[in-house]
Chain A
C-alpha cells in the first residue's frame, strides 16, 4: 500500500506511531498517488462519503426525538417538524439526503461502468460497492417506513410481501418479519433498530472499499495501468482534496436547493397521511431511486419470477467483472461498447419512468422490453463484445506521447469529448 516508509518527526509522534501507526495511515492517505487525469466523475466517491456522514449525523439527531411506536411515530415526526429547534431543517436534510445519496451513487456506479473500473484488479472493490448499494437500498426502505405515513405503511406491506413469493416458507418468513399478522408496531420498532444499524455497516464497508481501492490505486479515464508514484500521478493532498472539495460544494448547492426550496418534491404526498391499515393509497410507488427495480418486478407476470428478476437485476452486477470479457477498461477506446453503454443508461431511465407509471397497457409493454434489454446487455452483449469489438489503440501512459509524437492525453480527451455529451 504505502509506497514509502514514514517516520514521525516528533519524539511523541514516533512513540505513538510505533504502537498504533495512525500517523503512517494519515501520511499514506495524504501522499496517496492519484492519477492526475481524473475527471469530475471521480469526485463522487468523496461526495458519497459526505452523504453517508450527513445521513449518520442527522439520523442520530433525529433519533433523539423520534418515537418508534405505531401510535406516536407520525406525531413525533410532526413534533420534530414544528417544535424541535431546527428540527425541520434536520429532517429535510435527512429526507432529501437519501435522494442525494442515491443520485451520487448512481453517478458513481455509471462512472465505473463507463471507465471499466470494475475490471481486474479491482473486482473486490466493485463487489464491496454492490454490497454497499444493497445495504443503502435496505436502509432507505427501512427509513421510509419510520414516519408511519400511508406510503410508509403500504410500502412496508408490499416489500415485505415479496418474501411470501418464496415457496413453502414464504408465508412464515413474512409473519416473522412483521412480528404479527400485518405490518404493525412490532414491525416498526424492528425496522427502526435495523435502520439505525445499517449505516454503521455501510461505514465499515466503505472503509474496506477504500482500503481495497488503495491496493491497486485508482482507475482513470484512460483506463491504463500507471506507475505510482510517477509523472502520471499527483499526491491526494492537496490536489484531489481541493478538487473533490470543489465538486462537493457544487453538489451541496443543489442539495441546499432541494432542502430549502422544494423539500417535499421527491417525496410522496400520501406520506403526510398517517398510516391507515384499512385504506390503500390509489397509486403506490417507491421512492424514485428504486423505480427501475420496481418496474422490473412488475414487468414479470409471475410473483416468484418477478422477485427473482428484481433481485437478479442487482446481483448480476456483482458478476460484471467476469461478464465483461474485454481486456480494455475505458470506454474511451471501445467505440461499440460506448454505444451500448448509452443504450443501457437510456434503458435504466426508461425503466425508472415506467416504474412510476401504472403497470398497464403501453407502459407494461415498454417495461417488459426494457427489462429484457437490461438482462440482454449484461448476459449477451457484454460477453460477446469483448471478443468482437475492434478497440482503439491505447496509450502507454497518461503523459508520454506515442503515435508519432501526438500527445495521447489530448487524443484521449478528444475521444471523450466526442462521446460524453
Chain B
C-alpha cells in the first residue's frame, strides 16, 4: 500500500517536471529563432544583374545577400586553361563544367572559404584570385590551389533570365 503510494507520488513529480521542461523549451525557442534572418531579409534573396556591357576579360562584383558575387566573362584562353587542369592536382576536385554552366561566364560567391575575406581579382600564382588575408590562391575557375582555404569558392544559384540578365538566388 505504502509502496504503491510512493510510486504514484514519483509519477506525479516526474510528470510535473517533464511537462514543465517541455514548456521551458517551448519558451526558449522564440528567443533563439528571433536572431535568424527575418521575413524581410529572406524576401530579398534574389538579385538581377545586367551583363550586357561586359567584354571578355572583365569582372564585376555585385552585392547579393550582403556578400560580393564575382561575375567574370572569361576569355577563350582562360576557359581552355580552366578545363586543362588535372583534377588530381586539386585540393577540392571539381570540373570547370560543373562550376560554369556557360563556360564564358563564371558566377561565384567572392568569399574566401578560409575565413571569409574577399579575394583580389587577377592576382596569385594561378592567374585567378588571391586572398590577401591568409594567402589562399584560386585559379580562373575559382578553385583553391594553394593556401589554407579548404574548398573552392562557392557557386550561388543563378540563371540566365535572357542574354543580358543574370538572376542570382
Which residues of A pack against B, CB within 8 Å?
57-58, 61, 64-65, 79, 82-87, 89-90
Q: Are A61 and B34 in contact (CB under 8 A)?
A: yes
Q: Are A84 and B38 in contact (CB under 8 A)?
A: yes
Given A79-B40, A83-B40; A90-B35 close (CB under 8 Å): no
Tell me the bound Cα distance from A87 to B39 in angstroms.
Answer: 11
Which residues of B pack against A, CB within 8 Å?
30-31, 33-36, 38-41
Q: Are B34 and A82 in contact (CB under 8 A)?
A: no
CB-defined contacts of A86 to chain B, threshold 8 Å: 30-31, 33-34
Tell me the bound Cα distance from A57 to B24 in angstroms.
Answer: 14
CB-defined contacts of B40 to chain A, threshold 8 Å: 79, 82-83
Q: Are A64 and B35 in contact (CB under 8 A)?
A: yes
The 5 lowest CB-CB distance pairs between A and B, nearest first, are A86-B30, A83-B39, A83-B38, A83-B40, A85-B33
Q: Are B38 and A85 in contact (CB under 8 A)?
A: yes
Q: Are B36 and A90 in contact (CB under 8 A)?
A: no
Residue among B31, B34, B35, B38 facing the most chain A CB atoms (10 A cut-off): B34
A-B interface contact total, Cβ < 8 Å: 35
Our pick among A64, A65, A82, A89 for the contact of B30 (Cβ within 8 Å) is A89
CB-defined contacts of A61 to chain B, threshold 8 Å: 31, 34
CB-defined contacts of A84 to chain B, threshold 8 Å: 34, 38-39
Tell me the bound Cα distance from A64 to B35 in angstroms.
Answer: 8
User: Main SS of chain B's interface residues?
Assistant: helix
Tell me the bound Cα distance from A89 to B36 in angstroms.
Answer: 15
Tell me the bound Cα distance from A87 to B30 in angstroms.
Answer: 8
Complex: chain B residue closest to A85, CB-CB = B33
CB-defined contacts of A83 to chain B, threshold 8 Å: 38-41
Complex: chain A residue closest to B37, CB-CB = A85
Q: Are B39 and A82 in contact (CB under 8 A)?
A: yes
Offer 7 A-B interface pairs, CB within 8 angstroms, sorted by A. Answer: A61-B31, A79-B40, A82-B40, A85-B33, A85-B39, A86-B30, A90-B34
Complex: chain B residue closest to A86, CB-CB = B30
Complex: chain A residue closest to B41, CB-CB = A83
Tell me the bound Cα distance from A61 to B33 in angstroms.
Answer: 10
Complex: chain B residue closest to A54, CB-CB = B27
Q: Are B36 and A85 in contact (CB under 8 A)?
A: yes
Q: Are A65 and B34 in contact (CB under 8 A)?
A: yes
Q: Are A87 and B38 in contact (CB under 8 A)?
A: yes
CB-defined contacts of A57 to chain B, threshold 8 Å: 31
Complex: chain B residue closest to A82, CB-CB = B39
Known: A83-B39, A85-B36, A86-B31. 20 other contacts (CB 8 A): A57-B31, A61-B31, A64-B34, A65-B34, A65-B38, A79-B38, A79-B40, A82-B39, A82-B40, A83-B38, A83-B40, A84-B38, A84-B39, A85-B30, A85-B34, A85-B38, A86-B33, A87-B38, A89-B30, A90-B31
Min CB gap B115→A, angstroms: 25
CB-defined contacts of A58 to chain B, threshold 8 Å: 31
Min CB gap A66→B, angstroms: 12
Complex: chain B residue closest to A60, CB-CB = B31
Complex: chain B residue closest to A242, CB-CB = B16
Tell me the bound Cα distance from A405 to B36 in angstroms.
Answer: 67
CB-defined contacts of B34 to chain A, threshold 8 Å: 61, 64-65, 84-87, 90
